[in-house]
Amino acid sequence: MNTNKLQGLIAAPYTGFNPDESLNLDIIESYATYLKQVNVTGVFVNGTTGEGVSLSTEERLQTAEEWIKYKDENFKVLIHVGHDSLTTAQQLARHAQALGADGIGAMAPPFMKTKTLVDLIHFNAAIASAAEALPYYYYHIPSMTGAHYQMIDFLTLAHKQIPNIAGIKFTHEDFMDMKLCVEFENQTYTILHGRDEILLAGLALGVKGAIGSTYNYLAPLYHRIIAAFSDVDLTLADELQFKAIQFVQVLIKHGGGVCAGKSIMKLVGLDLGMPRLPNKGLTKEEEETLFSDLTILGFDDCAVAMNE
């Protein structure tokens, strides 16, 4: 299945929670409107940033149902359906297909880990077959799953055994492996870059699309990186990528992408509540320090608030 149409910045959206920790589905309309405003081309729902593994199955279904309302020709909705339980992953996949999602993805089971690459292929094939009309993306994130397989080996098997395999969300730093995947079968498959802080490296290797958490609030900065690269202004592209790295350093300093990221979303006008345990939200004092560090880096020059 050839789906080279997936390009540009795809946000990994946060899941909004109310003060009582219930889902805040009402905020998704404003969220989608904002992402369209900053020219994000889609979302990958219920993934790592969306705390998908911390949601109940019913909550994941409800979140997918709400996001799908805002898909259009220029705004794709992909849904992460991965789960340690194969039957639950298949349920989520069938649901996504019934909704009319633009694609689904799943990571390797993070607890009951696959012991061989063949086992991983069989697991993904079983999920993909539950939504055979949808493009299927394997979510390669070995830092979380422990599935340290070469993705070129995965594609070599998957393209014969998973009819609707469309590509890989490649959240890893093995650039040789990434390039081999980009070029595999005459660039048939879509390789979506998954490390925001090294997007420029992915562009240099031929990726056309990327999924990431910082695209939620720093999309204008990354659009400038892509434009500079396209214009062969590599000096500017490098400077802008270094700026993105500095922002990611601030994220790490203040608790990481989910914990600090939800606080940062307040700066663009979206209060998504606190993350769920085991993630810990920031206190008011911690937020003030975070916001101060972002101001020093020039956050206001790199982001756009809602309705600006």
The answer to whether 211 and 266 are in contact (CB under 8 A) is no
Among the listed residues 31, 139, 189, 215, the single catalytic one is: 139
Query: In angstroms, how far is CA 171 from the centroid of its own chain?
Result: 9
Q: Cis omega before residue 278 (within 30°)?
A: yes
From the list 71, 76, 169, 243, the catalytic residue is 169
| 79, 57 contact by CB (below 8 A) | no
Catalytic annotation on 169?
A: yes
Q: What SS3 string covers 267-290?
A: HHCCCCCCCCCCCCCCCHHHHHHH
Question: What is the rounded distance in angstroms from the CA atom of residue 80 to the CA atom of residue 135?
Answer: 12
Longest Cα pair distance anywhere in the chain, in angstroms? Answer: 54
Residue type at position 29: E
222 carries an active-site annotation:
no
Q: Which residues are catalytic?
A: 139, 169
